[in-house]
Amino acid sequence: MAELSATLPDTTPLPAPAAPKLVDVSSLTLEGLAKFLTEQLGERAFRAGQVYRWLHQRGVTSFEEMTDLSKALRQKLQERAEIVPLVKDLEQVSRDGTIKYRFKTRDGRFIESVYMPSEDRKTLCVSTQVGCAMKCSFCMTGTLGLKRNLTPGEIVAQVHTVNREVRQREGLETYRPLSNLVFMGMGEPLHNFENLKTALSILQSENGPNFSHRHITVSTVGLVPMIERFGQETDVKLAISLNASTDEQRNQTMPVNRKWNIEALLEACRKFPLRQGRRITFEYVLLKGFNDSDEDAHRLIALLRGIPAKVNLIPYNENPGLGFHTTVEERAEQFRAILAEGHIAAFIRQNRGRDIAGACGQLANRSGQDAAQSTQAPELP
């Protein structure tokens, strides 16, 4: 009997093969989409343009909406690909017309985007990460820590979703009512550079939303090695979040300065390739009694000498528990006047959406994700 049982085959059922991973087509450039369709689905290359335009001109969220594709192709796309969604979780409207949107990602994270309409433009402030690793001490987003990077599709989906919201809210026919994009939302854009670059490629594509390089600005706290790559590999505008006139100040408020100090940062700015007539924007958050003195203004003039620059002065948007206060209007104007006398173009930025915590430095998902959740350790270049 033992000999007979030894000869019987093993009848333990084998595990079922894992389902193939779905490809996030909303994160692909046109070239990447063409490669997927031809090599993986056996389709002709021209189909990529059709799918891409549905995704990034019309901003559809399902393959069923792509009505000029055959049912067979739509079925193949449903089986092998996906469009990663962002779900609108919350909408808050400010007294000044600013609208803050909170979106929920597939994995239950929250990000925020801010729509700022004005007479001559419709601007969206876009997020690039869930949380932020930079830990600037005056910024609420920094209290969250970094949860994860956003994919190119999640970055672009903020634009598509708000385009759709604005179109419906304002009764517009155009698929792209937004005119300007500023990457100044949650996260440090250059800390998620590869995904940012792919998202910019999609957003600037003629087959996509077709935003002009003149109407896109990316802000950084000063990741010096990435500033060089940003200048070489993209053509959009650069903004530097400076916020101090000495290393001592910047070390206290912006930990990144301990790795790349003001001298290193401004040297990178001097080497930055600028299109003719373009300037680097320096953002300077005015913190009462900390960096808003006449001496600070004179030091700032000296620091920026030789750099084609303009300065956006940002009266601080107070955040609970962070210990900083807003510079009064008169002091901000005096600071601006000193810069102007030193031949620095300076402007006091109108803060939008303060009453809904939608202004600069206030994005923190206050009724969303718990800041105490586990975070990724920052890996700086």
Active site residue 360: yes
Ranking 143-157, 213-227, 358-372 by mean pLDDT, the lowest is: 358-372
Active site residue 43: no
Q: Which residue has better confidence, 47 or 349?
A: 47
Q: Which class would CATH give 23-82?
A: mainly alpha
Radius of gyration (Cα) for the chain, nearest Å?
A: 24
pLDDT of res. 220 = 97
Sign of dihedral through CA atoms 259, 264, 266, 269?
A: negative
Rounded Cα distance between 62 and 85, Å, is 9
Q: Are 285 and 314 in contact (CB under 8 A)?
A: yes
Tens-place pLDDT, residues 298-338: 999 999 999 999 999 998 877 666 778 889 999 999 999 99
Question: Comparing C-alpha atoms, which of 352, 356, 361 is closest to residue 116?
Answer: 352
Tens-place pLDDT, residues 147-163: 999 999 999 999 999 99
CATH topology for 87-367?
TIM Barrel (3.20.20)
pLDDT of res. 243 = 96
Say yes or no to pLDDT of 130 above 90: yes
Tens-place pLDDT, residues 61-110: 999 999 999 999 999 999 999 999 899 999 999 888 899 999 999 999 99
Confidence tier at 44 by pLDDT (50, 70, 90): very high
Rounded Cα distance between 75 and 79, Å, is 6
Tens-place pLDDT, residues 262-305: 999 999 999 999 988 899 999 999 999 999 999 999 999 999 99
**Is position 132 annotated in a ligand binding site?**
yes
Confidence tier at 142 by pLDDT (50, 70, 90): confident
pTM (two decimals)? 0.89
**Is position 243 annotated in a ligand binding site?**
yes
**Is position 188 annotated in a ligand binding site?**
yes
pLDDT of res. 320 = 66
pLDDT of res. 358 = 47
Question: Comparing C-alpha atoms, which of 95, 143, 73 is closest to residue 321?
Answer: 143
Say yes or no to pLDDT of 370 above 60: no
pLDDT of res. 63 = 97
**Is position 205 annotated in a ligand binding site?**
no
- As annotated, the residues of the chain forming the CATH 3.20.20.70 domain(s) are 87-367
pLDDT of res. 143 = 83
The stretch 109-116 carries a mean pLDDT of 94
**Is position 245 annotated in a ligand binding site?**
no
Point out the catalytic residue in the list 43, 125, 154, 360. 360
Max mean pLDDT range (139-148, 225-234, 367-376):
225-234
Rounded Cα distance between 284 and 365, Å, is 24
Point out the catalytic residue in the list 112, 154, 269, 283. 112
- As annotated, the residues of the chain forming the CATH 1.10.150.530 domain(s) are 23-82
Confidence tier at 375 by pLDDT (50, 70, 90): very low
